[in-house]
Structure 1
């Protein structure tokens, strides 16, 4: 039995920080197992958050410079964590930070140079997990469903509430997954208007009231009508969602309240469409820590679907864990991206390996 000791790195679209998960991953009796030995989060300061948020607008030369410096920064954070905890690490597996995601144009770009990361950390690094799938005609997203199937297949649905909401489940014998739509990205955008990083536990949203006009406009967004496989990201949010929020004169509380109802209505539509029995919905990501959102979601789903929250470590570090797994599968030359999820021509073993120098 080979034990893989991997440090998984994840930076999500919600721009709250870098998650690091030190994982032990092994295969036994044709089944993969894991333990999360240690975790750490590094919050982005205002300057870093601004750089990442605005990276999409940078000309190519400046973007490449930031890609390299951010890769070095990632490597420094990894090295500090490894040294502090005196860890034995076989390799680092990094998602990077998505800046451009336009699969319809054959383009996806996760910032965080693998070579710079490897050099700064002193450890072999695997990254760039999306490009190969896009080159094969896929969406390059979502990627986490391989982990849902391998580690969490006992649940009927796996829902992740990050900046964007995405879901995965078995459908006609295949794993399917797609981005449903909005989640924390819009909520954090609203709270930042009052210099608040996020609405803890949905406390502000809970005191608000529905803005029916905004709710109808959000629910009418064309993206929700598209069939899966599909994925979306920051560009869609800026182009289609922000104008609706900015064009609505209302209190912060009412905007948050309305957006949570919108998020949960869209989630419930998708889950109910694929529910034929009493089902379990396993929820991770920062949105799982929003009590008002989870309460609203359960109300809209009704009694036939049970919302299940795992322990806090898995809620917060599941994606870092799954990218650690994807790195292991890449090292083993096994499938880590599913074409049934992304719409690519075939399954692939994706990711690029960088050696430290």
Structure 2
């Protein structure tokens, strides 16, 4: 049985930091198995976090320079991790950090130049997973559902609560998935206006009360009425949701409480549209799975409809990186790793560009 030893990199829209997961993958009887051997998160310093957050506003030349510099930085983090942990790595698989996501214009850009990354760490690197799907008319997102299908198919639903919430499931003989809407991006934005990085465990939100006018305005945003497949990103949050938070000012606790109610209501609504069957399971990962208040509210809304399952902390924090590791392996093996049933592209495809160190 061939074993693939991959160092996978992921930077999400929550801007917490760089997630690195050293994983082993093997295939037996047409089924992929995995082990997460070592993990590391490199928290972003304030300056880098702000630069990545505002990358969408940069002129083309400055954006390209950031793309190259960030790729070199990623490679340096890889090199340090490998040296300090004594890792035996076949190749690197990097998602990068999304600065632009406008698939309706044929654009989805992930910062972190693959060539600069490969040169800095001295290893073959797979990245740029989205562009081929977008070129085929797809959303280029979500991509994690291939991992949900191959690694976590025993769960009825897989829910990721990162900056954006997205859901994945097997429906009518095929895998479907889409971005539900906002998640930690809104919670962190509210916190950061008051000098907090995030609401640990949802403790602040739990002290608040719901601002009904704000909740109604959030729930009536047009994106939630669009059919899937669909995906969204920071641009949508900035243009459609931030103005509503400013239009209905309230205390930190009340805005957070309202945001949690909005997030969990939208997720629960999407679970319910696929029926009311008992015995279903919803695997929840991503930073939002650590928000005890949010998970409690979601569990309450789905009581009798689906069991909310939060796995161990390693899988919660590194599932996305893990899946991009698998996607890199599938690219190396020339297997389909992007599903048109998820993205809306004209056909399934193999995404990812391979870079060789100079």
TM more than 0.5: yes
Distance 2:253 2:305 in 1: 30
Equivalence map 1:300-339=2 (5 Å) = 300-339=301-340
Give 1:276 shift.
4.1
What whole-Å deviation, never above 9, does each CA across 1:64-109 have from its counterpart, x for those lacking one?
0000000000000011001101111000000000001000001110
Give 1:228 shift.
0.2
What whole-Å deviation, never above 9, does each CA across 1:148-198 have from its counterpart, x for those lacking one?
000000000000000000000011000000000010000000000122111
Equivalence map 1:162-311=2 (5 Å) = 162-278=162-278, 279-311=280-312
Give 1:146 shift.
0.2
What whole-Å deviation, never above 9, does each CA across 1:242-298 have from its counterpart, x for those lacking one?
000112221000000000000000000000111341111000000000000000001
Please state whether the residue corresponding to 2:54 is helix, strand or coil: helix
Please state whether the residue corresponding to 1:27 is helix, strand or coil: strand
Instruction: Look up the match of 2:341.
Output: 340
Please state whether the residue corresponding to 2:142 is helix, strand or coil: coil
Distance 1:29 1:280 in 2: 25
Instruction: Mark the runs of 5 or more structure 1 residues left unpaired by the alignment.
Output: none
Note if contact 2:25-2:34 (Cα within 8 Å) is conserved in structure 1: yes
Instruction: Look up the match of 1:356.
Output: 357
Equivalence map 1:154-165=2 (5 Å) = 154-165=154-165
Instruction: Look up the match of 2:108.
Output: 108
Please state whether the residue corresponding to 1:170 is helix, strand or coil: strand
Note if contact 2:276-2:305 (Cα within 8 Å) is conserved in structure 1: no
Please state whether the residue corresponding to 1:96 is helix, strand or coil: strand
Distance 2:225 2:162 in 1: 21
Moved over 3 A (4+): none
What whole-Å deviation, never above 9, does each CA across 1:273-332 have from its counterpart, x for those lacking one?
113411110000000000000000011112221000011000000000000000000000
Instruction: Look up the match of 1:31.
Output: 31
Distance 2:346 2:231 in 1: 17
Distance 1:170 1:205 in 2: 33
Distance 2:322 2:37 in 1: 11
Distance 2:211 2:33 in 1: 46
Count matched residues. 357
Instruction: Mark the runs of 5 or more structure 2 residues left unpaired by the alignment.
Output: none
Instruction: Look up the match of 2:56.
Output: 56
